[in-house]
Chains A and B, each alone.
Chain A
Amino acid sequence: MDPLQFLTTATVAIVAGKGGVGKTTVTAVLARAAIRRGLRVLVIELDGKPTLGRLLPGVEVQQLSATAALAEYLDAHGLSRVTKRLASRGIIDVVATASPGIDDIVVLGKVKQLERSGLYDLLVIDGPAAGHAITFLLAARSLLASVRSGPIHTQASDVADMLADPARCQVVLVSLPETTPVNEAIETAYALEERVGVHLGPVVVNGVDHGPELPSDAADPGSPMRLAADFRNARRLLHRTECDRLAEQLALPQLHLATVAGSRLDADGIERLADAWNLEASP
């Protein structure tokens, strides 16, 4: 089966995972792999530092900021005079605090607009960190319960429809092949399925060191070669064990990204990682 098939099953792919697991890398590789398949791709960065433009030269990348989106929304709903009279950042703080999730809904509302525009086959969203991903995606449900009518209710209802429809939206979880990140991925997956009701795509495990077990006893005990082999074997065993545990506890397909040497990933690195996936995908 083609492991990248999921790229064509829903228009919106939200990439989610804890800080430091490599969400941005995975977003870039997914986007690159989708473009290779001829899809029209838009990449969306939320409130982050703009890094995806550098990783994906020639690809359309759009920044969505919760604060800016909420300001725009309030302006459009008759608060423009108010935002001028009061410090605009301040009033946004108050509105966002009075109604938690309203900023998330406004952002997701924009995503929905782009999805409905018909201009793209795939929107890849570099999502918020895992803990926040749940509140981010729960915003629609929470607001539907607390705001019974008005424009925010309509918006939340449209967003909830999009999130619940596996043909329109899926979440791609990112993890590392280590104990704590795997535990967190499992918890996040259950929370997203049960509480948000969003469809989960494959889990991407980032930085996996695949490779055979090295015959460490071919070197003298205590020698550099022996110590290095023992270390590598232990890491590979840990990676294998954790990927297996993830597979046992989450019935989702896994995609692996290899460890990349060096401290900074660049556009070429993204191309190489996407190559590896396309290779796996070819018969």
Chain B
Amino acid sequence: MTTDDRSLVAHLVGADVLVCCGSGGVGKTTVAAALGLQAAQLGRRAVVVTIDPAKRLADALGVPGGLSNEPVQLQVPGDGELWALMLDTATTFDGLVRANAADPDQAERILANGFYRNVAGSLSGTQEYMAAERLHALHLDPRFDLVIVDTPPTRNALDFLDAPGTIARFIDHPLFKLLMMPTRRGLKVLNVAAQPVLRTIGKVVGGDVLADAVAFFQAFAGMETGFRQRADDVMELLHSDVSKFVLVASPRADTIEEACYFAGRLAEGDLEVAAVVVNRCTPTFGEPPPRRPRGAAAPLYDNLIELRTAAATERQQAAALLEATGVPADVHTSWVPMLSEDVHTLDALEAIRVRLFD
């Protein structure tokens, strides 16, 4: 095991926040959980935040009822601790509204609003923003000293970094300002109804729907400063030295390109890529015998050669892509071979951990 200060182990010891990014289907959740296992063995009190509702991972981690929005402690080897939770976007957003509301009445008005439910449930970027928000809260939680986040499976992993900004922009929206403009009579609702802009929108999307939106923006009045401050804090944490990013890919070109694109954007923002994990590689099994045997063993020889060739081609193409597309050369790359079974037991997860670190 290498212990130079750029290795994955060094980051597991030194960082406060590890963000796992990558395309869907590369095994991000598995890698995040394996990092958590290793962190616990290194004596850290780690919490893994997962977005993936796969119950099998919960089974693998020894959580019989599945994971919930609150962290639960898992029985794992090591001097440290491993906790896990599954992000519930809407509940987290509700908590944020309650925390920022001037009084319980304002909070209830917002939570009951139809437009708010849409914002919490389907505004693009909300899930990513809530993941970042949760990360920030867990970072301040004295029970944990390492937060490992498995980012939502977005097509573009960058949404995670942009999300706090997206929500801040939404709150700063001109329509919101328009609705909040004081009128001579001080009657905002009349002002709203008189806006030709809104009449036109109402014709397209329906009047009831629009009324909800107007009520939401009105109920939200006074909270936008708190929300914006919170978004700024989250961004600051992600950009600080204690946060590191782990890029997860598979040998498939599109997943590596996604990781490289993300690496480039991180570099622009002076953010640090801790490591690249190329997961689900074709495994290798050692040297073939000098000659192709005759008889029953012949197809076994062919199979070994076929896998070796596939693994070598895959590795060479993936390494070339990584080099060509912007991941700094000194970033540590881990190549994790595919197991012969799916990863949904603690043993299989442990096998991934061993392949990742040994």
Whether the Cβ atoms of B205 and A99 lie closer than 8 Å is: yes
Whether the Cβ atoms of A179 and B321 lie closer than 8 Å is: no
8 A Cβ contacts from B96-125 to A: 115, 118-119, 121-124
Whether the Cβ atoms of A93 and B170 lie closer than 8 Å is: yes
Whether the Cβ atoms of B317 and A102 lie closer than 8 Å is: no
Whether the Cβ atoms of A95 and B205 lie closer than 8 Å is: yes
8 A Cβ contacts from A223-241 to B: 223-232, 234-235, 238
B154 to chain A, nearest CB (A): 9
Whether the Cβ atoms of B155 and A48 lie closer than 8 Å is: yes
8 A Cβ contacts from B278-312 to A: 283, 285-289, 295-297, 299-301, 303-304, 307, 309-310
Whether the Cβ atoms of B173 and A90 lie closer than 8 Å is: yes
Say whether, besides A97-B122, A98-B205, A219-B300, A20 and B24 are in contact (CB < 8 Å): yes
Whether the Cβ atoms of B24 and A90 lie closer than 8 Å is: no
Whether the Cβ atoms of A94 and B118 lie closer than 8 Å is: no
Whether the Cβ atoms of B256 and A263 lie closer than 8 Å is: yes
Interface string of B28-42 (1 = CB under 8 A from A): 000000000000000
Whether the Cβ atoms of B200 and A97 lie closer than 8 Å is: no
8 A Cβ contacts from A159-218 to B: 176, 178-180, 214-216, 218
Whether the Cβ atoms of B341 and A77 lie closer than 8 Å is: no
Q: Which of A20, A94, A98, A230 has the most CB of B within 10 A?
A: A98
Whether the Cβ atoms of A225 and B288 lie closer than 8 Å is: yes
B252 adjacent to chain A (CB < 8 Å): yes
Whether the Cβ atoms of A146 and B173 lie closer than 8 Å is: no
Whether the Cβ atoms of A180 and B24 lie closer than 8 Å is: no
B174 adjacent to chain A (CB < 8 Å): yes
Task: State the 8 A-B residue pairs at the shortest beta-carbon distance, nearest first.
Answer: A20-B25, A19-B24, A234-B340, A224-B286, A218-B296, A264-B253, A228-B304, A263-B317
Interface size, chain A (Cβ < 8 Å): 61
B85 to chain A, nearest CB (A): 20
A sample of 12 inter-chain contacts (CB < 8 A) reads A94-B175, A98-B205, A147-B206, A180-B342, A225-B288, A225-B289, A225-B300, A226-B300, A228-B303, A232-B307, A263-B313, A263-B318
Residue of B nearest to A86 (CB): B174
Secondary structure type dominating chain A contacts: helix
Whether the Cβ atoms of B213 and A94 lie closer than 8 Å is: yes
8 A Cβ contacts from A38-91 to B: 47-48, 51, 74, 77-79, 82, 85-87, 90-91
Contact of B205 among A102, A135, A180, A223 (CB under 8 A): A102
A273 to chain B, nearest CB (A): 15
Q: Which residues of B contact A215 (CB under 8 A)?
A: 296-297, 299-300
A174 to chain B, nearest CB (A): 11
Q: Which residues of A contact B25 (CB under 8 A)?
A: 18-21, 176
- Seed contacts A78-B203, A79-B200; 16 additional CB < 8 Å A-B pairs: A19-B23, A19-B24, A20-B26, A51-B254, A86-B178, A98-B115, A99-B206, A129-B155, A218-B295, A224-B287, A225-B289, A225-B300, A227-B286, A228-B304, A230-B340, A235-B340
Q: Which residues of A contact B309 (CB under 8 A)?
A: 261
Whether the Cβ atoms of B26 and A151 lie closer than 8 Å is: no
Query: In the complex, A85 Cα to B177 Cα: how many Å?
Result: 13
Residue of A nearest to B253 (CB): A264
Whether the Cβ atoms of B209 and A218 lie closer than 8 Å is: no
B190 adjacent to chain A (CB < 8 Å): no
Query: In the complex, A219 Cα to B340 Cα: how many Å?
Result: 19
Say whether, besides A97-B119, A216-B300, A263 and B24 are in contact (CB < 8 Å): no
B251 adjacent to chain A (CB < 8 Å): yes
Residue of B nearest to A262 (CB): B313
A250 adjacent to chain B (CB < 8 Å): no
Query: In the complex, A232 Cα to B297 Cα: how many Å?
Result: 14
Residue of B nearest to A47 (CB): B155
B265 adjacent to chain A (CB < 8 Å): no
B169 adjacent to chain A (CB < 8 Å): yes
Q: Which residues of A contact B239 (CB under 8 A)?
A: none
B329 adjacent to chain A (CB < 8 Å): no
A221 adjacent to chain B (CB < 8 Å): no
Say whether, besides A18-B24, A99-B209, A228 and B300 are in contact (CB < 8 Å): yes
Query: In the complex, A35 Cα to B306 Cα: how many Å?
Result: 33
Say whether, besides A225-B301, A229-B303, A150 and B56 are in contact (CB < 8 Å): no
Q: Which residues of B contact A219 (CB under 8 A)?
A: 297, 300
Whether the Cβ atoms of A263 and B118 lie closer than 8 Å is: no
Whether the Cβ atoms of A98 and B200 lie closer than 8 Å is: no
B70 adjacent to chain A (CB < 8 Å): no
B143 to chain A, nearest CB (A): 30
Query: In the complex, A263 Cα to B54 Cα: how many Å?
Result: 27
Whether the Cβ atoms of A232 and B204 lie closer than 8 Å is: no
A57 to chain B, nearest CB (A): 18
Contact of B201 among A79, A149, A230 (CB under 8 A): A79
Q: Which residues of A contact B286 (CB under 8 A)?
A: 223-224, 227
A152 adjacent to chain B (CB < 8 Å): yes
B164 adjacent to chain A (CB < 8 Å): no
Residue of B nearest to A66 (CB): B124
Q: Which residues of B contact A21 (CB under 8 A)?
A: 25
B197 adjacent to chain A (CB < 8 Å): yes
Query: In the complex, A152 Cα to B205 Cα: how many Å?
Result: 7
Whether the Cβ atoms of A218 and B201 lie closer than 8 Å is: no
Residue of B nearest to A103 (CB): B124
B210 adjacent to chain A (CB < 8 Å): yes
Query: In the complex, A51 Cα to B255 Cα: how many Å?
Result: 13
Query: In the complex, A257 Cα to B224 Cα: how many Å?
Result: 51
